Structure formats: C-alpha cells, structure tokens
Structure 1
Amino acid sequence: MEHGEVLLPGGRVRLVDLSRPLGPTPGEPAPPHLRRITHEEGAELWRLTFGIPESALPAGLGFAGEIVEASTHAATHVDAPFHYAPVSEGRRARTIDEMPLSWFVGPAVVIDVSDLPDGCLVPVEELEERLEEIGHTPSAGDIVLLRTGAGEHWGEEEFFWRGCGLGREAVLYLVERGVRLIGTDAWSLDRPYPVIGEEWRERRDPSLLWPAHFAGMEREYCQIEKLANLEELPPVGATLVCFPVRVERGSGAWVRAVAFVPSEGDERRA
C-alpha cells in the first residue's frame, strides 16, 4: 500500500499507515457490522424528508453513507484507563475523552519480539535486552510498540490466538520511565485471550489474568492494540500520531495511527 511522503518544517517524511480498517473480519470474535446506504437510498431519503425529487439531483443520486455498529475496541483502537478498572492510581480512572492529546503523539520505539512463541509472557529482563539491542533507553513521551508478528494473521480466525504479551512488571517498567502509551500488533497487549482462558482452567492462578491491563489500576497508562505495518518502521527515529476519536465517557476509541518516518537522504530530520 502506498502511503506517500510529505514535506514538514523539519524535513521530508514517509507516511506509514499503522491502522486496521473498521469492518467485519474473521479475526474479531465480535465483528463490527456496517450497513451501507447507497446513492439511490440517499436520494430517496431527501425525497421522503424534504420532498426533493430524485430528478432534481445530479444523475438522480444522493449521498452514500454507512451506519456502523461496533465495539470501541474493534480494529485499531486506544484503551483508556477506565477500560481496565474504575480506579487508577487511587482516583477515578479517566475515560478516553478526558485523556491529554499529548499522550498520542511522540517518538515511536519498536521492539521486535516476533521470534517469541505465541502465548509467551514477555518478562522485564527480555524487554530490557531487546531495548539494549536497539540501543535505546525508554524516556518520558516515548511510545513503545511491540511487533509480535500477530499482525501477519490479520483477517484470519487465528489472529485472536496469535502474538505474545506483556505482564504487570513489564508494563510498570515502561510506565515508571515515563511511557504513557504502549502498543501492539496483536489483538491485545496481554497474551491471547484463549491462552489466558486455557491457563485459568489448568492453574487457577489469578495473577495470570490480564496482568498488563490490570497494571493500569496501579499506574495510569493507555494502550493501542491491533496495529498494522510495524515492520515498516525503524526501531527508533519515527514519530507516531494516533489521536483517538473523542467518544463521550468511552473506555476506548478507534484511532487512525500514522507514523512519520524521516526520508532517507533528506538533510533535515523530522
């Protein structure tokens, strides 16, 4: 897919779309439903509402549209602290419409863990090693993105089962260093839900139930899930812009995530 380039005050950048389309897909257990309004139906609506005949319209057609019924956690989306629990850091957890816009733009740090097996819980030590490999220490404002490899299975039923996830300690490690937004190309920042369910039936260990999400009760942070095209980004050097739709009192919201990658050979840096 061609994303194009733009010239910004800091230099020329390549745009990389990191978003999944909002629509029905086998990888969503509760897929969105889209009802499409045709141009003919748009013209009929104006006739019924305003008495404007189809013959008065160019080609006898009105405007097309869509009516969407979907979870705010479908496709590429941001989870607000309220999604994890009603309380975060001892006070009322904020909803998506209350989050600062500054949280959703910043340096992207891509950590490739696609070599780890599906269902793996990434420990803090592994996270530190991967960061050391790319020569980066997380700092305030960084947006850390996990490339688990699950994104390669988008559009397939098995997408729900793919990828590895973070635990409580790994999330807190990043948040305590100023990271407020953590992302993944998988269905969830936690390990795949079916894996968590199977493990519960076998071990009955409450500490293994969605530890990444529930870490948000201790420290306020957001996560962005179901990202695309992370393989097109460098480990460091890109800028991510991912403002969520302002859903009133929402636990999350859809987002069009776009990375700005400095173009090779440009003397200026974005």
Structure 2
Amino acid sequence: MRLIDLTVPTVDGPSEATPVEVSLLDHASAPAALGLRPEDFPDGESISNETVTLTTHTGTHMDAPLHYGLRSGGQRAAAIDEIPLEWCYAPGVRLDLRHIPPGAAISVADIEDALAKIPHELVPGDIPLIWTGADRLWGTEAYRTDHPGMTREPTAYLVERGARVIGIDAWGFDRPFASMVGDYRRDGDNSVLWPAHLYGREKPYCQLEKLAHLEELPAATGFTVACFPAKLAGLGAGWTRVVAIVPEPNTEEP
C-alpha cells in the first residue's frame, strides 16, 4: 500500500487566523528545569519539551457536532472524543470541484455532477473529499479567503446518503467569512451564515477542514481515509492527521 498525507503542517503563519505559539525547553536548558546539572546527562543534554498554544481549529482538524451547537438530531451533540472510530476509517471519494470560483456556493448539482463524472454512487460510510484546489494557496493570506464553500443543501445531500465525515481542502467548510457576512449585511438574511455547519444541528456529521494534496490521489475512488482526531475530552474539534491509504498492485514475480 501507499500512504498519502492529506494534512497541512501545524505552524504559525499567514494561512492561520489565530497564532500558534511555541515555548521551547531545549536540550541544554532541560537539566536545570529538572533540578539537575548538565553533567548528569550524556553530552550535557537532557530531553526537550515544547508548550504549544493554539486553537482546536488550527491546522488540519475535525469538527464534531458539538462545534455546530449543543444539540444535534434532537440529542446532545457529540464532542470530538465521542466520535465513533468507525466514522474515521472508511472509503474515500474525491469530488472534483476545482472549477467553482472563490466565494461561490457549492450546490447539490455540483456534487451530483462530480459524482457522475467519476462515476460513483455513494455508499453509507463513504468519506467525500471536496477538492477545491485551495490548498495551493497554503502559506499565504489568500488561503483564508479564496475558496468556495458548502451550504446546507449539498451537505444534507451527502449526509442523507450516509456520509458521516466530509472533508474539504480549504480553510473552512462554508464559504469564506467575508462572503457570508457581506451577503448578510446586504440582504439581512441570516440563513447565509455558516449554513453547512448549522446543518449539523439537524443531523450529526463531522467536517475535516484544511486538507491538502488531494491531487496526489491516483483516482477519485479506490482508497481508504484514516482520520482519527485527538481525543480532547468534551471539546468541539480536534487536530487530525488525515492519511489516504492506497492499495498498490503486487509487482513481485511469483
């Protein structure tokens, strides 16, 4: 098999809306922090440590139903540590939506067209990966603003066909903040504010945000997605190392 990393690095920079702060206890300073001397360790170096301050939505991460609201599907919304492991290891389906312009809303017709072109009929448990191509902007401020986004209807379309986890290779799952808020301030219609997220109050599902390298997948199907989030008790999201597992033919001579 071949493993393809579908995550961005967790690092401070212009593509993150909030800072990532790292406090380093290096090998040379560590002995004193432990109440010992450098000469107590080989080469005068102890073991290092880092303290990292960041949000649960920094880097590639999974949003749990609790992120969308306190209740989902009429029940208490699940936190990230309560997500069934079965949801996080399942066949992936890459949906090519790179033609959708930045700021635009992805529609049900767009999803249906992408599925028809593969072709693929969704199976319950499939993990659809929305391929916008926005990860090419990673490392720039434009990454946070220049991408299309999902709305309620296409999200419902996927969830009602059995998707429990849906991923996107953009800063957020919905349209960019400025696009949504601009429409709301112009028209006064609050249904344009995070409609895909808020659909999660109707039926539980999880989002993977800030995916990357979907172009490295050899095909739109035929791979498995592993996306187990950090077990952060009672929280609405967790950092996730997302990996595509691609089987490769056995080329060894019999």
| TM-score, with length taken from structure 1 | 0.90
1:238 matched to 2:223: yes
1:257 matched to 2:209: no
Residue 267 of structure 1 and its aligned partner are, at CA, apart by 6.8
Amino acid at match of 1:65: N
Tell me, what secondary structure is at the counterpart of 2:200?
helix
- Partner Cα distance (1:64, 1:37) in 2: 6
Aligned residues: 251
2:6 maps to 18
| 1:177 corresponds to which of 161, 185, 202 | 161
- Partner Cα distance (1:17, 1:41) in 2: 34
Amino acid at match of 2:246: V
| TM-score, with length taken from structure 2 | 0.96
1:79-118 to structure 2, matched below 5 A, reads 79-118=63-102
- Partner Cα distance (2:241, 2:155) in 1: 23
Amino acid at match of 1:40: A
Residue 15 of structure 1 and its aligned partner are, at CA, apart by 0.8
| 1:76 corresponds to which of 49, 56, 60 | 60
The sequence identity of aligned pairs, in percent, is 41
- Partner Cα distance (1:20, 1:125) in 2: 29
1:1-270 to structure 2, matched below 5 A, reads 13-46=1-34, 48=35, 52-233=36-217, 234-263=219-248, 265-266=249-250
- Partner Cα distance (1:198, 1:44) in 2: 54
- Partner Cα distance (2:40, 2:167) in 1: 50
Amino acid at match of 1:33: E
Amino acid at match of 1:130: A
- Partner Cα distance (1:236, 1:98) in 2: 28
Conserved 8 A contact 1:23-1:34: no
Please provide the CA RMSD for this pair: 1.3
- Partner Cα distance (1:237, 1:252) in 2: 28
Residue 45 of structure 1 and its aligned partner are, at CA, apart by 1.2
- Partner Cα distance (1:111, 1:165) in 2: 13
Residue 250 of structure 1 and its aligned partner are, at CA, apart by 0.9
Amino acid at match of 2:49: G
Q: Spell out structure 1 runs of 4+ moving beyond 6 A.
A: none
Residue 53 of structure 1 and its aligned partner are, at CA, apart by 1.8
- Partner Cα distance (1:190, 1:152) in 2: 18
Q: Which moved more, 1:27-36 or 1:251-260?
A: 27-36
Conserved 8 A contact 1:121-1:191: yes
Amino acid at match of 2:62: V
- Partner Cα distance (1:38, 1:267) in 2: 46
Amino acid at match of 1:163: H
Amino acid at match of 2:12: P
Conserved 8 A contact 2:97-2:110: no
